[in-house]
Amino acid sequence: MSSYRLHRPGPHLVVALVTPFAGAGEVDHASLRRLVAHLQAGGVDEFFVNGSTGEAPLLDEADRLAVLETVRAAAPDGTVYAGVSGLGHRHAIRNARAAAAAGADAAVVMSPFFVALDQRQLGDFAAAIADASPIPLAVYHHLRMPTPFAVPTVARLAAHPNIFAVKDTNGGDQDRCAEILAATAGRPFRFFQGVEKLVLSTLQAGGHGCVVAQGNLAPRLYRDLFDAWQAGETARAAGLQQQIDALWAIFTRPEVRQSFAHFLHTLKLPLHERGVLASTAGALPGVAIEPEFSRMVSEFMQTRLEPAPASRAP
C-alpha cells in the first residue's frame, strides 16, 4: 500500500462499485473484472468496494474479501478503498485487518448500524477502529444511518493520526463541505463528496474529490468534469455538472427512493445492456423488478449515456 495513492495531488475521482451477482446469488467475478475495465477505460483508477452501493450489509465476510481481492488484482496500480462497517467496532476491526491483508489502501467505516449514539460515543467508536486498523481509515457520513457524523466530531477525528478522510453523503447540504474544510484546516485531512449534484461545488469550495455511485454508469463524464476543472475551463465544467444532474434525475423517482433493489437495478441494468455485467441480479433473494420499470430505465439511459460500447475484459 502506498500513502501516495491517498495523498497524491489533485482531486480524487472514486467510484463506489456495484457488486455483480449471478442468478444463484454468488458474486460474479468475471463481471466484476469487466466493470473495473469499464471504469479504467473511462479514466477511473480509484475504487470503493463493499460500500452501500456494493451491497456490503448483505454480503458475508468471505464474499467481501473475494470482491476486494478481485478488484485489487484487476487494478494493481489503482487505489482501493474497502468498506469495513460491521455490527460493532470489533467486527469493523476484523474487517479492516482482513482488507489490509488483501491489499486495500484504506478502510472506510460508517456509524454503527441500528444503534444510536451521542457524538462523543461516535467519535470514540471511530477512534477505536482507527487505533487498531493497519491501514488508514476514512469515516463515512450517511443520513440513512442512526447517528450522523456532526462537523465537530469530524474535526475531532481529523486529529487522529490514522484517520485521513470523510466520505460525506449528506443529502444535498452544500454548507457541510465548507464547514468541514474550515474545521479541519491545517491538517492532512480529505473531504470526499458523496452527493452527485454537489461534485463541482465541492471542487470549487476546496474539497478533495468525490465518491459516487453514478460513476459506474458514466465514468468518462466525471473524468471530463475533473479535467475541465483542473484546466480552468469553468463553463465546460458547469455544463458537465448539468449533465450529471440530468442523469441523476432518474434516481429521484419515488420507486427508486423507496426501494434499494430498484436503486441497484437502475445502476445495473444499463451496465448489463452494455455487456459489462452478465445480469442485473443483486444479493437480496426473491426480488422481481417490474418490466415497466426496466423499460423506463432503458429508455431514460438511452437518452443520457454515451452510445459507445463499454470496454470488456477477459
Is the four-CA dihedral 156, 157, 161, 166 of positive or negative sign?
A: negative
Contact assessment for residue 297 and residue 303, using Cβ atoms and an 8 Å cutoff: no
222 noted as active-site residue: no
The length of the chain, given as a count of residues: 314
Q: Any catalytic annotation for residue 197?
A: no
Contact at 8 Å (CB) between 135 and 161? no
Cα-based angle 254, 51, 31 (whole degrees, multiple of 5): 90
Query: Which residue among the candidates 81, 140, 222, 268 is catalytic per the annotation?
Result: 140
Active-site residue among 4, 81, 167, 268? Answer: 167
Give the three cell numbers for residue 134.
Answer: 493497519
Question: Which residues carry out catalysis?
Answer: 140, 167
